[in-house]
Chain A
Amino acid sequence: MKTETRSEQFYPPSLLGNILRKLHIDIPLFVGLLLISILSFVILYSAGSQNMDVLMRQGVRVGLAFLLMTALAHVDPYQFKRYSALLFGLGIALLVAVLVMGQFGKGAQRWLDLGVFRFQPSEMIKITTPMMIAWYLAEHALPPKSKQLLIAGMLIVIPTLLIAKQPDLGTALLVASSGAGVLLFAGLSWRFMLAICATLAGLTPILWHFMRPYQRDRVLTFLNPEADPLGRGYHIIQSKIAIGSGGIYGKGWLGSTQSELDFLPESSTDFIFAVFAEEFGLFGCVGLLALYLLIISRCLYIASQAQDTYSRLLASSLAFTFFVYVFVNIGMVIGVLPVVGVPLPLVSYGGTSIVTLLAGFGILMSIHTHKKFIPH
């Protein structure tokens, strides 16, 4: 930890270093994100049937997302705090708008058509929910009292339910965990957390009652994939075969024969980890997880060094949500969690999640590079 602190204080005196510092870019985080993006193109090329169009489209998205990240890194964190409530309110209003007049896509209402491009308010709410709760809790002494917990709970439940209603279980889960993350870091007592978990477990049968048929199917399939090998269980069986057949060293790049995941449209989106695991084996998987861990560690470090409560809570929650992302996606692909539509962050094909994720990292960089001198 100590050496990191030093490298933090003394940027390499190179020209590049100078530029990056001017841009308010955090070098270790930036390098980690860049590495994982490059890795993403390598896997996408293989998983997407070596289609250059796919890479080009993804390249444009990633480029735009990096630009957004840089732009946000430039903003003073005080501004995020100032506009937290406003942005959160806007996000909720957009979610309601989507529900009311949203277009139908895949039977789910998620998109808002802005003419020029289509916008998914649930993506924006992934960031604004932790912002809102961090802002609210930072106004009071920590750890939060029961009244604040109640209000914070409401602030989590409202967007989560609105998104679950779309229905988009994966995003709802991420939003809920980003909010819960703030509470965790705000010092919510362990006993209380256990109580919540127990209550949620008790609520499962009620939740089941409200699930859509396809969501129930996913849970049932997760519990017993072999029951329907051509239909609902197909994803999990095939992805387990792909991962298992990869072995320790993998079949090598472009060597994924089991991308006979062919029938899975998700082979380059939600199930891309299966292709990766087949081609790069256990070594590759551990390497990828290590890379993710490095990014998360850096984020937690940034959180620990943050100067005010709001920044700490927001930074740590964003780091935590990023991990939940990774864990839920890989967990479902390797068959330990039910299949919910969560992409592998920064690797899966598709633009919206990458833009949101890098926006989050932009906020983290802003928090880290806008320190004010405080005498001890």
Chain B
Amino acid sequence: MSRTYTIKNKLVESRLFLNRIVAAFILILLLTSGLIVRLVYLQIVGHEHYATLAKDNSIKIEPLVPTRGIIYDRHGKVLADNTQSYSLDLIPEQIKDLDGTLQRLQKLLNISDEKIDQFQKQRKRQKRFVSTPLLISMTDEELAKFAVVRPYFPGVDFQARLVRHYPYADLASHVVGYVGRINEAEMKTLPIAEYRGSSHVGKIGIENTYETELHGKTGYAEIETNVQARAINTVNSVLPVPGENLYLTLDIDLQKTAYDALGDFNGAVVAIDIKTGGVLVFVSRPGFDPNPFVIGIANDAYQALQSSENQPLYNRALRGLYPPGSTIKPFIALAGLEYNAISAEHKLFCPGYYQLPNVSHHYRDWKKGGHGSVAMSDAITQSCDVYFYTLASILGIDRMHNFLRHFGFGEKTGIDLAGEKQGLLPSREWKRSQHNQSWYPGETLITGIGQGFLQVSPIQLAKAVATLANKGQVVTPFLVKHAINPDSVDPDMETQLGNIELKPENINTIISAMVNVIHDPHGTAKSIGKDINYQIAGKTGTAQVFNIKQDAKYNENDIDFKLRDHALFISFAPAADPKIAVAVIVENGGHGGSVAAPIAGQVIKQYLGDNSENRNPE
């Protein structure tokens, strides 16, 4: 306080302040009176008008819920539709003795305690006059039993609802997904007006990705009702716009073939139409039946799914990450040619192991005693590890990383399903930032045979082999043809790299080597090349299982089984004019050639067999 004030100043100041206090108080009184005037207007003058609006014999705004769009496969077979079913609804406000009523209903219809609990939980979240379902999708028997005694249960009634139904159950569960009750978190993010009246929302799969399109637009009706709350007249309405029907690129029959071909194994099969990128097969086995999720899956059933060691809820095709094993070799070989690091004719000697200079460690070939002297084509056909150790060592990790990236390794494919994993394409920078370690030469070698840090998902593998078959034109897998809203495009898609420029002679070398994998007597998958009049190109792979879940409850045999290698196979056909690309991963399947390749073979033969142009030799 540097200044000194005179007494007079102080007095002027406090007088001014008191004036202001009085002025503010008057202002506050005036504004408050304004509020009261408005309240008088609403509550006295407008009371009758608003009371009528509020009462039951008035105009209510009811949402008109749109019908959810149907999901079809490429041939118009229904994958998800809506079936009529009845639910048993209670309006707590209209029931005098709620607990007694629930007990009587429980006895009459054999309702489980769990459902009663669920009902109670939901009821407590809602207002007392909101109708709350006790049973969703009643059986005919339950319907008949209740219909007889309905007059004795005021406030309880059945209501017709459309319930989502998935006819193919576990076959397509990981593609189509399912809808479920809107939960509290979703309540907050969904547009309130659009979902007033909707009870379900797409949770995973296509149901989730295309929620906006499938849901449609909610309309509303202004309904005049009488004292009994019965609608007597619709004053005005805006009709709902039904959800769009979606046609997937999926071929459900082909999907079934692939699913059945996996047999008792866990695994994934992805097939892509190379010309368009449309996904023909998207199998993750085991699947699960999505239908119980629609009506609210029982807790123990859900626990069983969750704790099953086969992990049926796990979308292996989209989220499963595996070492690609030898299926990476055609890409590494192509990198060698494109970077002029090696010529196709150059032969390398394989003694059965590889040694880094000045290191005693032996990097072994899968074949004891080795393959002898092999050039590129034979190295691919026979899957010679030593050849690729050597090539990897020549290329170095930087060039391998840069080249593989173009095929989509280490990046999401951009398929229209949520939750995709991006896999891992290691690099020096990655190792530095993740492990704070420099890159070791030994890691370059094992990357060259698809082991080590490298991790791919089945959909990535399918995209990569489709791109290879397409001679470097990048294939982007998708499931729904139209309805790709420019706003909803995944930002990852924008960073997608353009087409890869490859020399025709290089790609042809690789393709003919991959043809030999199936059609050469020494090929690792020669069993599937019979009885067809076109050529299949492919590559087998075997991935070592690193992480074994050491749960104590496995018995000896199971541990042995879980330790078995994953079998992989990538392929495309016809080799001369590729139409379909298939990637197969069979968990603990052992060898790619004997287990994974026949599955791809079945898919390819069924698909190309359908297309009559391939029946006759060219």
A positions within 8 Å CB-CB of B: 49, 51, 106, 139-143, 184-187, 228-232, 234, 240-248, 257-260, 262-263, 265, 277, 281-282, 285-286, 289, 293, 296-297, 300, 303-304, 309, 312, 316, 320, 323, 327, 330-331, 334-336
Contacts and interface: CB of A to CB of B under 8 A. Distances in A.
Contacts of B25: 297, 300
B54 A336 contact: no
Contact of A243 (B16, B39, B125, B188): B39
B428 interface: no
Contacts of B16: 142-143, 187
B47 A230 contact: no
A289 B20 contact: no
B21 A244 contact: no
Contacts of A184: 20, 24
B544 interface: no
A141 B13 CA distance: 8
B39 A323 contact: no
Interface in B1-55: 1, 3, 5, 9, 13-14, 16-18, 20-21, 24-25, 28-29, 31-32, 34-36, 38-40, 42-44, 46-47, 49-51, 53-55
A229 B50 contact: no
Contacts, number: 141
A147 to B, nearest CB: 14
Contacts of A304: 17-18, 21
A331 B39 contact: no
Interface in B517-565: none
Contacts of B129: 257, 260
Contacts of A303: 21
Task: List the 7 shortest-distance A-B pairs measured between CB atoms, nearest first.
Answer: A244-B50, A245-B54, A231-B193, A187-B16, A282-B43, A244-B42, A245-B51
A142 B46 CA distance: 48
A49 to B, nearest CB: 6
A244 B49 contact: yes
A334 B38 contact: yes
A262 B63 CA distance: 14
A323 to B, nearest CB: 5
B61 interface: yes
Contacts of A263: 192, 196
Interface string B45-80: 011011101110000010100000000000000000
A106 B28 CA distance: 34
A309 B13 CA distance: 8
Contact of A234 (B13, B124, B193): B193
29 contacts: A49-B127, A106-B188, A141-B13, A142-B13, A142-B17, A232-B193, A234-B193, A243-B39, A244-B50, A245-B47, A245-B50, A247-B44, A247-B47, A247-B51, A248-B43, A257-B54, A260-B127, A262-B130, A263-B192, A282-B39, A289-B35, A293-B32, A300-B24, A309-B13, A312-B14, A320-B24, A335-B38, A336-B34, A336-B35
Contacts of B13: 141-142, 187, 309
B83 interface: no
Nearest to A185: B20
B126 interface: yes
A231 B238 CA distance: 13
B44 A248 contact: yes
B220 A229 contact: yes
A185 B20 CA distance: 5
Contact of B5 (A141, A187, A229, A316): A141
Contact of A327 (B31, B127, B193, B196): B31
Given A184-B24, A244-B43, A300-B24, A330 B18 contact: no
Nearest to A281: B43
Chain A interface main SS type = helix
Given A244-B42, A262-B126, 6 more contacts: A49-B125, A49-B128, A230-B61, A230-B218, A247-B51, A260-B129
B50 A241 contact: yes
Contacts of A285: 36, 39, 43
Interface in B467-481: none
A288 B151 CA distance: 46
Nearest to A301: B21
Given A241-B54, A244-B49, A334 B42 contact: yes
Contacts of A231: 191-193
A185 B21 contact: yes
A320 B3 CA distance: 29
A312 B220 contact: no
Contacts of B28: 293, 296, 320, 323
Contacts of A336: 34-35, 38
A244 B51 contact: yes
B53 to A, nearest CB: 5
A229 B196 CA distance: 12
Contacts of B3: 140-141
A265 B125 CA distance: 12
Nearest to B9: A141
A293 B128 CA distance: 35
Contacts of B53: 241, 244-245
Contact of A230 (B17, B42, B50, B220): B220
B32 A289 contact: yes
Contact of B36 (A243, A248, A289): A289
A124 B36 CA distance: 31
A138 to B, nearest CB: 9
Given A141-B5, A187-B20, A229-B220, A242 B54 contact: yes
A295 to B, nearest CB: 11
A275 B13 CA distance: 45
A184 B23 CA distance: 10
Nearest to A188: B20
Contacts of B14: 312
Nearest to B187: A265
A142 B3 CA distance: 12
A139 B1 contact: yes
Which of A244, A257, A296, A335 counts the most B-chain CB atoms under 10 A from its CB?
A244
A282 B53 CA distance: 18
Contacts of A330: 35
